[in-house]
Amino acid sequence: MPKTTPKTMFEKIWEQHVVSQEEGKPALLYIDLHLVHEVTSPQAFEGLRLAGRNVRRPDLIVAVADHDVPTTPRDTEVVIEDPIAKQQLAALSENTAHFGIELFDMYSPGQGIVHVIGPELGATQPGMTIVCGDSHTATHGAFGALAFGIGTSEIEHVLATQCLVQARPKTMEVRVTGELQPGVTAKDLILSIIGQIGVAGGTGHVIEYTGQAIRDLSMEGRMTVCNMSIEGGARAGMIAPDEKTYEYLRGRTRAPKGDAFDEAIKDWNELATDEGAEFDALVEIDASEIEPRVTWGTNPGHVATISGNVPSPEDFESPGDQENAARALEYMELKPGQRITDIAIDRVFIGSCTNGRLEDLRAAAAIAKGRKVAPGVRAMVVPGSTLTKKLAEEEGLDKILTDAGFEWRSAGCSMCLGMNPDILSPGERCASTSNRNFEGRQGRGGLTHLVSPEMAAAAAIEGHFVDVRDWEPVEA
């Protein structure tokens, strides 16, 4: 038998989904799962209606309200003050009802951030193509799926055809060798990777994360890593499925059941990149050298270590980067050389599709237990989904956190981008577990520092950034 050419996981999934392709043209790619939320979909549904078109496969779509929803309690009717947010949520309800699409609205027990509920439902599975009108769709790649963000016109295209016209991207292997030190998390790892490749380093590529440190991560940690692939410019990030992946999925609502699950595992085991397969680019990184990270600037590549200092524009080589750094420092109201641990904060946000899962809330609670949020600091914990919230409450995490002075909120995107009422005021400085520290992202004039949940909780307690590796748990 002729030997087949070794293939990467990306190539295998891609090839399994090409419906048709003409010479020299992009492929028509079949989409297995389409996730929809209220912000990027209304114009797509409107487009369908105007053209008199239908949704081809409503059964392959999951819709959820997450970006605009207030995080106040939902046991009674939630009043949405913002008339336009209200309209957008209403449009989602109406569009999904009209086209027969399942919707998890604000009051549904299955509600949550779109990238948290996909895996939680077991809808996200290895080998799938998954799209969503949201750049953090790469999160689902943690299960060995090809998952990427699309624009609204493309959403409309997928609604109408269940396919997407796509040119084949290049591939990049990010190989993480060694082990992460205690107190160093998946968040610190991905911030280090972005710091190394730069915010445009992955442009045009699909990243596959490999190596011991990746295998050692929990599914939550892998999702954190894949989630931020876009911050390195890559539309997708993926990790080969293994026992951890299967254990996570077993028994979930939408995962295959019984024998079908075992059959599925056989297929899923075939997905991993073959020995000898080639990537277009390779980046290597040693996990053991990574320290907890804190961003200092206005993009996720502006990253420092907790023991380090705020850089000076002169530390950068190109005039462009120097100017960019100078602008960022000015916006962030920071001085070159300032110690990271001397930066005082006003607000803390623990949540988002990057770090709003149960494991993240456990990590924050472990730091907060028996301690108190520093006077003058307002700290908010927003579970990534309503189910996450419930499970955390069953473990008593809410009690630990509220005893320490954290606010315990209802699920949604919240202060990750502040489309709901949770926003920073101008000049407020925030330690945030989200994924973007862009100017004004959390509120106009707001100053965002990206960190892990552990680091955010510790900053809440000390009122400034601290090295969590120095922390001992408080004995109960």
Partner 1 sequence: MDPLKKVSGVVAPLDRANVDTDQVIPKQFLKRIERTGFGQYAFFDWRYLEDGVPNPDFILNKAEYRGAPILAAGPNFGSGSSREHAPWALKEYGFMAIIAPSFGDIFRSNCFQNGMAPVVLSQAGVDTILAKALRNPGYRLTVDIVEKRVYDEEGFSESFEMEPFRLESLVEGLDDIGHTLQSVDTIAEFEQAHPARW
Contact set for ligand SF4, span 102-121 (CB under 6 A): 113-115
- Whole-number Å distance between alpha carbons of 247 and 267: 15
Residue 366 tokens, joined = 């472990």
Measuring CA to CA, which residue among 9, 120, 104, 108 is closest to residue 61? Answer: 104
Contact string 357-396 vs partner 1 (x = CB under 8 A): ----------------------------------------
Going from the C-alpha of 313 to that of each of 147, 245, 336, 445, the distances in angstroms are: 36, 43, 8, 21
Residue 459 tokens, joined = 């900053």
Contact string 290-329 vs partner 1 (x = CB under 8 A): ---------x--------------------xx-xx--x--
Contact 366, 455 (CB under 8 A): no
Options 103-111, 217-225, 256-264, 309-317: segment touching partner 1 (CB under 8 A): 256-264
Interaction between residue 79 and partner 1 (CB under 8 A)? no
Of 38, 120, 134, 359, which lies in the binding site for ligand SF4, with binding defined by CB under 6 A? 134
Q: Find the binding residues for partner 1 in span 146-165 (CB under 8 A).
A: 149-154, 156-157, 160-163, 165
Q: Find the binding residues for ligand SF4 in span 135-174 (CB under 6 A).
A: 136
Least distance to partner 1, CB of residue 256, Å: 5
Residue 92 tokens, joined = 């989602």
Q: 370 - beta bridge partners?
A: none
Nearest 5°: phi and psi at 361?
-70, -35
Q: At 439, which amino acid appears?
A: E
Interaction between residue 46 and partner 1 (CB under 8 A)? yes
What is the residue-wise DSSP string for 406-468? -EE--SSSGGGTTSSS--PPTT-EEEE-SS---TTTTSTT-EEEE--HHHHHHHHHHSB---G
Of 53, 98, 250, 390, which lies in the binding site for partner 1, with binding defined by CB under 8 A? 53
Least distance to partner 1, CB of residue 445, Å: 8
Options 188-196, 305-313, 344-352, 432-440: segment touching partner 1 (CB under 8 A): 432-440
Least distance to ligand SF4, CB of residue 286, Å: 28
Of the two residues 82 and 291, which places its CB atom closer to partner 1 in the complex?
A: 82
Of 11, 120, 134, 220, which lies in the binding site for partner 1, with binding defined by CB under 8 A? 134
Q: By three-state DSSP, how is residue 400 classified?
A: helix
Q: Which does 452 bind (CB under 5 to 8 A by kind): ligand SF4, partner 1, none?
A: none
Residue 161's CB is within 10 A of a number of other CB atoms, namely: 17
Burial 374-393 (b: 16+ CB within 10 A, else e): beebbbbbbbbbbbbbebbe
Q: Which residue pairs, CB below 8 angstroms and at least 24 apart, start in 255-260?
A: 255/122, 255/125
- Whole-number Å distance between alpha carbons of 93 and 68: 13
Of 91, 265, 366, 374, which lies in the binding site for partner 1, with binding defined by CB under 8 A? 91
Least distance to partner 1, CB of residue 202, Å: 9
Contact string 401-420 vs partner 1 (x = CB under 8 A): ----------------xxx-
Least distance to ligand SF4, CB of residue 201, Å: 20
**How many amino acids of this chain bind ligand SF4 (CB under 6 A)?**
14
Residue 26's CB is within 10 A of a number of other CB atoms, namely: 12
Interaction between residue 417 and ligand SF4 (CB under 6 A)? yes
Interaction between residue 32 and partner 1 (CB under 8 A)? yes
Interaction between residue 409 and ligand SF4 (CB under 6 A)? no
Q: Which does 113 bind (CB under 5 to 8 A by kind): ligand SF4, partner 1, none?
A: ligand SF4
Q: By three-state DSSP, how is residue 71 classified?
A: coil
Q: Which does 352 bind (CB under 5 to 8 A by kind): partner 1, ligand SF4, none?
A: ligand SF4
- Whole-number Å distance between alpha carbons of 49 and 447: 41
DSSP state at residue 72: S
Q: Find the binding residues for ligand SF4 in span 277-316 (CB under 6 A).
A: none
Q: What share of the chain is helix, strand, coil (3-state, %, to 5)?
A: 40, 20, 45
Of the two residues 222 and 464, which places its CB atom closer to ligand SF4 in the complex?
A: 222
Q: Which residue pairs, CB below 8 angstroms and at least 24 apart, start in 161-165?
A: 161/56, 162/30, 162/31, 162/34, 162/56, 162/57, 162/60, 163/19, 163/28, 163/29, 163/30, 163/31, 164/28, 164/29, 164/31, 164/131, 165/26, 165/27, 165/28, 165/29
Q: Which does 84 bind (CB under 5 to 8 A by kind): ligand SF4, partner 1, none?
A: partner 1
Of 97, 260, 282, 344, which lies in the binding site for partner 1, with binding defined by CB under 8 A? 260
Interaction between residue 353 and ligand SF4 (CB under 6 A)? yes
| Contact residues: ligand SF4, CB under 6 A | 66-67, 113-115, 134, 136, 352-353, 413, 416-417, 434-435
